Structure formats: structure tokens, C-alpha cells
Structure 1
Amino acid sequence: MQSLVHDLHFEMKPGKVLGLVGESGSGKTITCMSVLQLLDRKTTSVEGSIRLQGRELNGLREEEMRNIRGKEIGFIMQNPMNAFSPVYTIGNQFIETIRTHSDLSKKQAKELAVDSMEAVNLPDPSRLMRKYPFQLSGGMLQRVMIAISMCLRPSLVIADEPTTALDVTNQLQVLRQLDRLRSECGTSILLISHDLGVISELADEVAVMHKGRIVERADVFQLFDHPRHEYTKKLLHSRPVLPIKEQTKELVL
């Protein structure tokens, strides 16, 4: 059997953000799927230990993992268009998620859903609750998914490219909400992104993946200012930089 990722060791600290960066195919998403136990167990196997607050997750039965996902581990998927069922309204899916993992009544769950959608800058949440996924843009679905992941205040949020489908204004709003979640609730966040600007804005530490391995891990300032591994240096140098034209002053008589 071919190994897709190798010798991964990292720890998520309460209230801290670990940024996971690397080129496409480096193993970032499959690492998250392994933590969530979402890989097909018939064709893949995960060796080693995955622990959440002292509880071993690797090898848990699907029913037990289903209770953990959503409540203790929030997951913001990379493709929001595939995250929702097309035959149920946004409100139906939002409320069902809340009630599955809490003792809230339907009315209380609806109020929490509306408040959570407002927090991620969605307009008129009460109206959006009655719409179907295909009636929302990709960016709006992304924010709905973020709201669902955050509303139950999980111990860990895994955010796989959470700002990909968003414009700059809403990117800032989402980053602020993630920052509030970790500061107010002590939530750990595993932030996967190709956007090094997003990583530098939110992450406390950064792990760099290359060919299925973590080749460097450091404090965010140290990694951006003084990268050690050659791959990290190439990754940072690949960022587009706008040329700065030297301004010339004209003397007007």
C-alpha cells in the first residue's frame, strides 16, 4: 500500500491557530480527513494516534465519530457547493445540525442559526434560512458553512481554505470571527490555506508540508522572516509582489 503522508506529528494548543501550508497535492487536506476519520476505511488506513482531549479518535466507530464531528470538531470544507444537500433548505440543515448536538428546542436552534449567520455578515438571515443551497452563491454558502461550524463552539475547528470563495471584505469578516472564536472560547484552529496573507494574519505557528511530510514548523514571525528549509524559501518567494515604481518629483515654476 502506498503511503500518502508520512511521520506527521503536531499538537493543537487551546486558543491557538496552526497554519498548514504547501502546494496542491502536498497532503494538507488528506491530513484533515484523517483527523476527522472521513477517509474510506476499505481503501485507506491511518496508523498512529489521533487524540482529542485525551480521547483516541483513530479507529472509533462511525456512530461515535458522528457525535464528535460538528460538536467537538468543526469542519469548514474547501468546496461549499458540495457541503449541503440540494433537497433541504439552508435552515433545515442548520437547525438539524444544532439539535443533533444540543438540547435546544427548534425555536432556540433557529435563533442561534440566525445569530450565527449575522455574525459572518450574511444579509437577512431569516430569509436565507428558507432558501435552498442552489439559490445562494458559493461565497454565501461558504459563510453559512462557517457559521454552522462555529455556532456550537467546538474544541477544534479545521478550516480547509475557508476564505477561497470570498471577496476581500468578507474574508476579513470571517477571519475576525475565527479570531473571536479562538479568543473567547479557547478553540484550537487548524487553518489550511494557499493564501500566505491569511496565514500571516491569523496563525500563531505555521507548518509547511511538502510531498506528504512536514518539512518545517515555526512561529509565524520566524517562519516568514527567517525560513530555514529550502522549500519554505521557495514557497515564500513564489508570492506575487507588485513592483514599486520610483516616484519622480517635478518642479513647477
Structure 2
Amino acid sequence: MGTERSNVLTVSDLHVKVQTKEGASTLVQDINFKLEKGKVLGLVGESGSGKTVTSMSILQLLDRKTTTIEGSITLQGRELNGLDDKEIRGIRGKDIAFIMQNPMNSFTPVFTIGNQFVETIRSHTALNKKQAKELAIEAMQNVNLPNPAKLLKSYPFQLSGGMLQRVMIAMAACLQPSVIIADEPTTALDVHNQLQVLRHLDKIRSEYGTSILLISHDLGVISEMADDVVVMQHGRIVETANVYELFDNPQHEYTKKLLNARLSIKHEEPITHML
């Protein structure tokens, strides 16, 4: 019973199909995993393996006119699959937050950062504008953003990719959600900003007990952050293991290929540095 209680997010028998002109096509099938409180679960695989489709299903962001989601997705025991738009909007951002791969896509270019940050807070709380602004500033300070009050008056295009990513993390964390889904959160960043983003995510996990579903094709990021790992290929899970077991003793041939590809890139790195 204790284990069930510690599972914040449970995905059971998830099947996602999309309707095309040629007929129905399966995007992911037989997806089963659990995310425990305060843990980081890594979801890995090549582009097109079904990682993002899985996360979009959890968030109920797929187009309902063309896609069918079968199976169960529970957040703290509450079924998400099939909730209407109003109900799921009340949960997204407050109980389950999303950090996108490209931070520029997360913001509307014609509104200031402050306008979007404050409205996000106010849509999920009873705070007034002044209180919401104070919370936004505090959240931005927590991710080491300089001069938050000035940044709130800026437009998205006036900030670097690394700064926008940190604003997005601040927005995701400020309402202390149970789960943060981070979809390739470091892909568009340089090494310094990658490290900062990962440190901030780890800080959120340790301070608030937030669970993180970390989606990445970068096994270096997964080895640094994850407690457990789910490996996906062609829309299916091919291996699930503790992070140490996965790296020390991979079972599936596909996992071995992913690890070998990473090792060969690492061996080539010193040559690149010398050039």
C-alpha cells in the first residue's frame, strides 16, 4: 500500500492512435510506468521513439479530433485521461507542469514575460496581481535570474535561450506541482546553461519533493539526473531499470546500441577539443 501511495504518476496500458488519410496509425502502445514522489524518471530513445507523444498524452495536449488515447493516466490517484478541457486546464500548471524543448515556443511574443508569468499564477491561485508579481520575482530569484523585476518587463525575444529556459523553470516550479515533465530541457543550450538548468531542476526536486519525468536522448543528462530509466523504441518500452543497472548491465540490444553510441562520441571528444 505504501508503494502505491508513493507513486505520484502512474501510466497503465497506454495506447495512442492517430487518424490519417491512410487510416489509423499507432504512435505508442503498451506503455506502463510509475513515477515516485521526489524521484526523477528518465525517458530515453531516439527521435520518433514516442517519448514526446507519451508526455503529450499525460498532459492531454494531443488533438482529440485526430488522436485516440486508450489506457489509464493517474496523477495522485486522479484519472487524467478523458477529462474535459476545463478540468485538465485546472491541473496543468498547478499539479503537473511542463518544460518544453524550445523555450521560445512557450511564450507569446507580443506579451511581456511578466504579463504571462503573473497570469499563469493568477489562473491557478486566489492571489491578486501584486502578490502574483511578488511570487514571480521570488521564483525567478530562486533560479538565479538577475534583476527579476526588470526581466518581467521584457519581451521573450529580448532574453537569451538560457534565460528563457530558466524563466520557464521558475514558472513551472512556483506553484510547487507534484510532477514536472521536462521534454529535452537542455537541448538548445550551451554546456554552461545546460548545467545550470539541471542544477535548478535537482534543487526543485530536493526542496519541494517534486517528481520529474525527464525526457531526453542525451544519456549524459539521464545518468546525471535520473533514478530510474525507461527506454523507448518504435513506440514501445523495451527496457525499464534503475539508472545504475541500466548503464552497468543493459539488457536490451537497443539500449546497448544507445550506450555504445554515447561511448564512441565520448572517445572522440578529446580530438575535438584539441582542434
What is the TM-score when the length of structure 2 is the normalising length? Answer: 0.86
Alpha-carbon deviation of 1:243? 5.3
Q: Which gives a bigger RCO, structure 1 or 2 (Cα 8 Å, sep 6+)?
A: 1
Whether contact under 8 Å (2:165, 2:197) holds in the other structure is no
Q: Select between 130-139 and 57-66 the one with higher mean Cα deviation.
A: 130-139
Q: In structure 2, what residue type is equivalent to 1:116?
A: A
- Distance (Å, rounded) in 2 between the aligned partners of 1:26 and 1:179: 26
1:242 and 2:267 correspond: yes
Richer in helix (by share): 2
Matches within 5 A, 1:1-80: 1-80=24-103
Partner of 1:193: 216
Larger Rg: 1
Alignment deviations for residues 149-192 of structure 1 (CA, whole Å, 9 cap, x no partner):
11111001000011122222232222222112222222111001
Whether contact under 8 Å (1:16, 1:187) holds in the other structure is yes
Alpha-carbon deviation of 1:140? 1.8
Q: Select between 61-70 and 185-194 the one with higher mean Cα deviation.
A: 185-194
SS in 2 for 1:19: strand
- Distance (Å, rounded) in 2 between the aligned partners of 1:159 and 1:105: 29
Alpha-carbon deviation of 1:25? 0.5
- Distance (Å, rounded) in 2 between the aligned partners of 1:230 and 1:48: 28
1:216 and 2:218 correspond: no
- Distance (Å, rounded) in 2 between the aligned partners of 1:162 and 1:63: 27
- Distance (Å, rounded) in 2 between the aligned partners of 1:158 and 1:130: 27
Alpha-carbon deviation of 1:147? 1.1
Q: Select between 143-152 and 227-236 the one with higher mean Cα deviation.
A: 143-152
- Distance (Å, rounded) in 2 between the aligned partners of 1:140 and 1:91: 14
Q: Select between 221-230 and 236-245 the one with higher mean Cα deviation.
A: 236-245
1:133 and 2:133 correspond: no
What is the TM-score when the length of structure 1 is the normalising length? Answer: 0.93
2:170 to 105, 128, 147: 147
Q: Select between 215-224 and 168-177 the one with higher mean Cα deviation.
A: 168-177
Runs of 4 or more off by more than 6 Å in structure 1?
none
- Distance (Å, rounded) in 2 between the aligned partners of 1:103 and 1:169: 37
Whether contact under 8 Å (1:121, 1:170) holds in the other structure is no
- Distance (Å, rounded) in 2 between the aligned partners of 1:43 and 1:244: 44
1:97 and 2:120 correspond: yes
Number of residue equivalences: 245
SS in 2 for 1:3: strand
* Coordinate RMSD, CA, aligned: 1.4
- Distance (Å, rounded) in 2 between the aligned partners of 1:126 and 1:164: 28
Alpha-carbon deviation of 1:108? 1.9
Identity across aligned pairs (percent)?
A: 71
